[in-house]
Chain A
């Protein structure tokens, strides 16, 4: 029973992590660059939800589209200021520019909100649901459902729509995509917007149960990086699976040993996976890694 309870908690955490990793891998695939600001975009999404909740006392589910829309605009700004001007420079330029965006976001949030932890409103309510002996917070169920829908929505967008095909073509061969009539610059900017919208959703979902601080982004980008690495560099399905594995590992290991030991065990597990499958669990071949 305890294990089942932990797995539900792990699934809720993993679903939110999956949104972080998804946003990270989408930008990675579209640009070949690692967006080190992704964790800080999640943090910014959390604080945005906190700020909106201050003036709009409504459930989180009502705030969600607003947060995602505003974060998409922030993603567009990041692409215009920190990626597109540097796209023909060495990759390290983009690494540094996205790190700079992260630092700007952290300090901007400190200036606006202070360094204290904040909590965004729950998606629906703060009650619990009893299910076959399990006591599940309503928020956990809502997080799993909302994150699941967003992941499915992202899959539908990329697999079934013409826009998604163009985004994928841009990610696979931008030069050839241009020769096929695809406005590649717009597609890249749009990918940043989708990635930031997913980060915003993750920020709202995570900051209710786990609080959000201006420095939360560092841990999140590390987890996204690990999820994408063990899932298979560039694999969308791998990123989601990697995020779920990390969350399940964190929750179960933290319940049996200390948090520090669980964290150490997580990195050890990553090393073991990469030793035996350097291409990750779902990767087909080792690519260029940042």
Chain B
């Protein structure tokens, strides 16, 4: 069996009141895409932020390569090999495309320029815009930049929060193909998406969150069948007229 770079054990996240993530357990293996699904407000973004360390864990453990990172600072987690692409991209707007990439590099063994070239090979559009300030890029280009920036740390785990949000279907397909290519290189990917069926086309496995609790888990085909066949499934976007595509 392949070891999991990420294991979440009974994790809860809260901000004083009711937990927004409640006793969640799952893992992400190297080279697989794990879909983190659920409607708006299910706790997906809060969970990703807890994994990178921007939200404190109320209880439970986060293990990365078997080591407990639950109390580590976000910068330490990033340097261990966790890349984070937040909802809304959050590129550094006043910095050039190249600077956005270079700033996120901290590998001592690989030259920064080579890492930048790797990102440009993955997203050729960024090469032509390398001197452009990030705020001038289109939404799709900013998404590519945000993913590229996360790759500069050569992550073994990539956290993606709603990468298809605001993108056209064609761009979404491009981004998802890139996500598959990244996973094929051995990186574990945790892909948070409201658009469940679209995400399950890219993912190997998935977990379904509803109001912070894990309602279902399984292989992508299995979850897809569950969502399409069971309109009574709690929080099923196909039954509630949600935004799933």
Chain A contacts to B: CB under 8 angstroms: 162, 165-166, 168-169, 172-173, 175-184
Is B180's CB within 8 Å of the partner chain A?
no
By the criterion of a CB under 8 Å from any partner CB, how many residues of chain B are at the interface? 26
A165 to B52, CA, bound (A): 21
Q: Is the CB of B102 within 8 A of A165?
A: yes
Complex interface bits, B69-82 against A, C-beta within 8 A gives 1, otherwise 0: 00001110011000
Which single residue of chain A is at the shortest CB-CB distance from B150? Answer: A180
Complex interface bits, B142-158 against A, C-beta within 8 A gives 1, otherwise 0: 00000001101100000
Complex interface bits, B185-204 against A, C-beta within 8 A gives 1, otherwise 0: 00000000000000000000
Q: Is the CB of A173 within 8 A of B90?
A: yes
| Complex A-B, nearest 9 residue pairs according to Cβ-Cβ distance, in ascending order | A181-B78, A165-B103, A180-B104, A178-B74, A179-B84, A172-B92, A181-B79, A176-B90, A169-B103
A173 to B149, CA, bound (A): 14
Q: Is the CB of B52 within 8 A of A179?
A: yes
Q: Is the CB of B92 within 8 A of A176?
A: yes
Q: Is the CB of A181 within 8 A of B104?
A: yes
Chain B contacts to A: CB under 8 angstroms: 52-54, 73-75, 78-79, 84, 86, 90, 92-95, 99, 102-106, 112, 149-150, 152-153
- What are 30 inter-chain pairs, A to B, with CB distance below 8 A? A162-B103, A162-B112, A165-B99, A166-B103, A168-B94, A169-B95, A169-B103, A172-B92, A172-B93, A172-B95, A173-B90, A175-B54, A176-B92, A177-B103, A178-B73, A178-B74, A178-B75, A178-B78, A179-B84, A179-B86, A180-B75, A180-B84, A180-B103, A180-B153, A181-B75, A181-B78, A181-B79, A181-B106, A182-B103, A183-B75
Which single residue of chain A is at the shortest CB-CB distance from B52? Answer: A179
Given contact pairs A165-B103, A169-B103, A176 touches B86 in the complex (Cβ within 8 A): yes
New A-B pairs, 17, CB < 8 Å, besides A177-B103, A180-B103, A180-B152: A162-B105, A165-B99, A168-B92, A168-B95, A169-B95, A176-B86, A177-B92, A178-B75, A178-B78, A179-B78, A179-B84, A179-B86, A180-B149, A181-B75, A181-B106, A183-B75, A184-B75
Which single residue of chain A is at the shortest CB-CB distance from B93? Answer: A172
A179 to B153, CA, bound (A): 11
Contacts of B90 in A (CB 8 A): 173, 176
Q: Is the CB of A173 within 8 A of B54?
A: no
Contacts of B152 in A (CB 8 A): 180
CB distance from B147 to the nearest CB of A (A): 13
Task: Identify B94's interface contact among A162, A172, A176, A184, CB under 8 A.
Answer: A172
Contacts of A180 in B (CB 8 A): 75, 78, 84, 103-104, 149-150, 152-153
Contacts of A184 in B (CB 8 A): 75
Contacts of B94 in A (CB 8 A): 168, 172
A287 to B73, CA, bound (A): 30
CB distance from A233 to the nearest CB of B (A): 13
Contacts of A182 in B (CB 8 A): 75, 103
Given contact pairs A166-B103, A183-B75, A184-B75, A178 touches B93 in the complex (Cβ within 8 A): no
CB distance from A136 to the nearest CB of B (A): 38
A180 to B105, CA, bound (A): 8
CB distance from A115 to the nearest CB of B (A): 43
A169 to B112, CA, bound (A): 17
A165 to B79, CA, bound (A): 17
The listed residue with most B CB atoms (<10 A of its CB), out of A162, A180, A182, A184, is: A180
A182 to B52, CA, bound (A): 13
Q: Is the CB of B106 within 8 A of A173?
A: no
Contacts of A162 in B (CB 8 A): 102-103, 105, 112
A178 to B90, CA, bound (A): 12
Contacts of B54 in A (CB 8 A): 175, 178-179
Given contact pairs A176-B90, A179-B52, A179-B54, A168 touches B99 in the complex (Cβ within 8 A): yes
CB distance from A153 to the nearest CB of B (A): 19
Given contact pairs A162-B102, A165-B99, A168-B99, A179 touches B93 in the complex (Cβ within 8 A): no
A138 to B95, CA, bound (A): 39
The listed residue with most B CB atoms (<10 A of its CB), out of A162, A172, A175, A179, is: A179
A166 to B152, CA, bound (A): 14
Contacts of B104 in A (CB 8 A): 180-181
CB distance from A158 to the nearest CB of B (A): 10
Contacts of A166 in B (CB 8 A): 103
Contacts of B78 in A (CB 8 A): 178-181
The listed residue with most A CB atoms (<10 A of its CB), out of B75, B84, B90, is: B75
A168 to B86, CA, bound (A): 19
Which single residue of chain B is at the shortest CB-CB distance from A165? Answer: B103
A178 to B74, CA, bound (A): 6
A165 to B105, CA, bound (A): 11
A12 to B106, CA, bound (A): 41
